[in-house]
Amino acid sequence: MPPDSVYGPLFEAVQTEHIFPDSKTFVDCIPRVAPGLALERYLASKDDPGFNLKDFVLEHFELPRNYASGFEADSSRPVEEHINALWPVLSRQADEDVEGSSLIPLPHPYIVPGGRFGEIYYWDSYFTMLGLQSAGRVDMIEHMVDNFSYLIDALGFIPNGNRSYFLSRSQPPFYSLMVRLLLEEKGEALLDKYLPRLEREYAFWMEGSSMLGHEKTAARHVARMPDGSLLNRYWDHSDKARQESYGEDIDLAGSTQRDSRELFRDLRAACESGWDFSARWFRDGFTFSTIRTTELAPVDLNALLYHLEIMIARAYAWQGQEDKMEAYRQKAEQRKDALLYYCWEEESGYFQDYDFVHGQPTGIPSLATAFPLYFNLATAEQAERVAANIQRYFLKAGGLVSTLIHSGQQWDAPNGWAPLQWIAIQGLRNYGHSELAGEIRRRWMALNIRVYENTGKMVEKYNVEDMSLLAGGGEYPVQDGFGWSNGVLLRLLKE
């Protein structure tokens, strides 16, 4: 059970009184006594004179460990050596089930991002795997894919991360790309093992399509476009404040007239997108409380689901099941047609998220425009215009900025993120824009190495506009480690 269900009024008190700077701290704590006993003691003593809530928590709970705290970085050694030395530090063995812990035990070893993130994250893991592949760690890639397969078998989907408070949502569906990565190393026969999981992953994302009717144009992860075609959206089954950011969500809800349940679901859906948070999701393109993630068909999500459909078709082709192969190829073609029709903005020359509530693209350019290039969905002319826009507007001194808006959110300017650099570089290469791709690669690598040499750290995100400053924004300080930054840099270094 998630922490709010286990600890009730104790959870509420800890998270609203902000006794820790980070709301994630308490939900990751492990009780020193049985959870029921901790709650019982809290209820019995909370009104006593001199009761101190933080002292009570420290007495009854073990705080999350920073596993890298004993790791001594030596920035005089090459960054590649540093990254390879970090794999054991960021590794977790198969988990034990601990009563009262929010951690969902996994049966195989895995790599965590680092910093405050002591659990596995869905989409992060693909970019970490790129580095593991370059480091020859195919064993760890297979362990991680098998952990995600285990979650699909156990839960019917891959949650945001292996925490009980993440069980109401997923993250960008990169599972099919992870399987593809493994096939590169171990051969097509693995498709027999992973096809049932690919199908369950697909069923999760398409859940809701059977609920659509004349009056209902969107249900769960699925939205029907005006011409009857289907595209997907980010969604969360819960409409409560996020447990890991409880105080922040309650404060935001108090600052707006919006219905809090609608607001909380849009916040959670943005977390499912991985872009938490960005002006990309804001109705006015700037104000946090105008977030409307569930009203949008995101271009990156639908490009990823196109790949999932293609991978399922590939698996059926491998098995010789031609009817099923053809059915999934048709689904992929239908999605491609819908994406190109609804998400391409001819006037600006970008792929944008489609606002299906108001019947138009959002008008907010973001680096998600590169995803159709990554999956070879764009026409040559569209790719040409996207490349020109990326070069003119998104390319900064240290690489590519995520959006062109300075909102104070971490997925906006001036920040750049490793996964988006990788998607853009590979997407541009697919359409022959190798010179621009090479320049992005060079600038991003130089920034990563510069920060490493100055701080001894690889970090979660980078300020690509001013290379003398660390990145900012978001609900927590910049985290070091860092899984996907390590993975992408190592892969780019090995080219």
CB 101 within 8 A of CB 3: no
Q: Tokens representing 133? A: 């592949």
What are the distances in angstroms from CA 349 to CA 62, 339, 378, 484? 52, 14, 11, 29
Contacts of residue 11, defined as CB under 8 A and 6 or more positions apart, other chains included, come to 3, 4, 26, 27, 243, 246
Among this protein's residues, is 460 annotated catalytic?
yes
CA-CA distance, 493 to 445, in Å (whole number)? Answer: 8
What's the CA gap between 91 and 103, in Å, rounded?
A: 15
Options 266, 276, 309, 345, the catalytic residue: 276
CA distance 490 to 486: 6
Catalytic residue among 95, 119, 460, 480: 460
In the annotation, is 439 catalytic?
A: no
Active site residues: 276, 460
